[in-house]
Amino acid sequence: MENKFTRYINKAIIFKTRIWHNPSSQNIFGLDFKPRYWVEALELLDVREFTDNPYSINRGFKKDFMLQGLYSRAVPGETKASRDVDFLQIQEKIPYGFRKGDLESYSNWWQAVSIPVMQNNLINAWHTAINAGAKEIPHSDNVQSYVDSTTVESEKELVSRPSDFSITNKQGVSFTRL
């Protein structure tokens, strides 16, 4: 039987992040190794399928306040390997990081993270985390410090379309909740 409908699922990837602060940085590429503020993805916490449809409760979804009141459930058929691949892609994606050993990827990350708009977003996230009770932890170099928070990255994943069940196409939209 052929599938006559294209089906997407909305996945929320929930992970622990670390917001770094380097007060000695002047945000100058080539002079500073890292910008004044930057964020990195640390640890995968959960992967959830979500929807805004309240009738989805009939399909096993539950209201999830971590996802700002959307309805979520475990992703059907999700394996640890696929979760790890999703998380690795996030770790190498702007603003969370770059591909190790790839100078172009590092340069693109630096330029994206050091622009004033992104720096202001990271400063706000830093202060929001501190105000919510997160502790500023000095790094061993006595220059940088960090706070930990939780981030949700959402993506729409194509899971099936007519006559082709194996294609996965990911398009990302992100929002952050500390």
Query: What pTM was estimated for this model as a whole?
Result: 0.76
**Distances in whole angstroms, Cα of residue 170 to Cα of each of 87, 122, 155:** 13, 25, 7
pLDDT confidence band for 119 (50 / 70 / 90): very high
- Reported as a single tens digit per residue, the pLDDT across 36-92 is 999 999 999 999 999 999 999 999 999 988 888 899 999 888 899 989 988 999 999
- Determine how many CB atoms are found less than 10 A away from the CB of residue 173: 9
- Reported as a single tens digit per residue, the pLDDT across 121-174 is 999 998 988 888 888 888 877 668 888 888 888 877 755 444 433 333 344 434
* Omega of the bond leading into 95 within 30 degrees of 0 (cis): yes
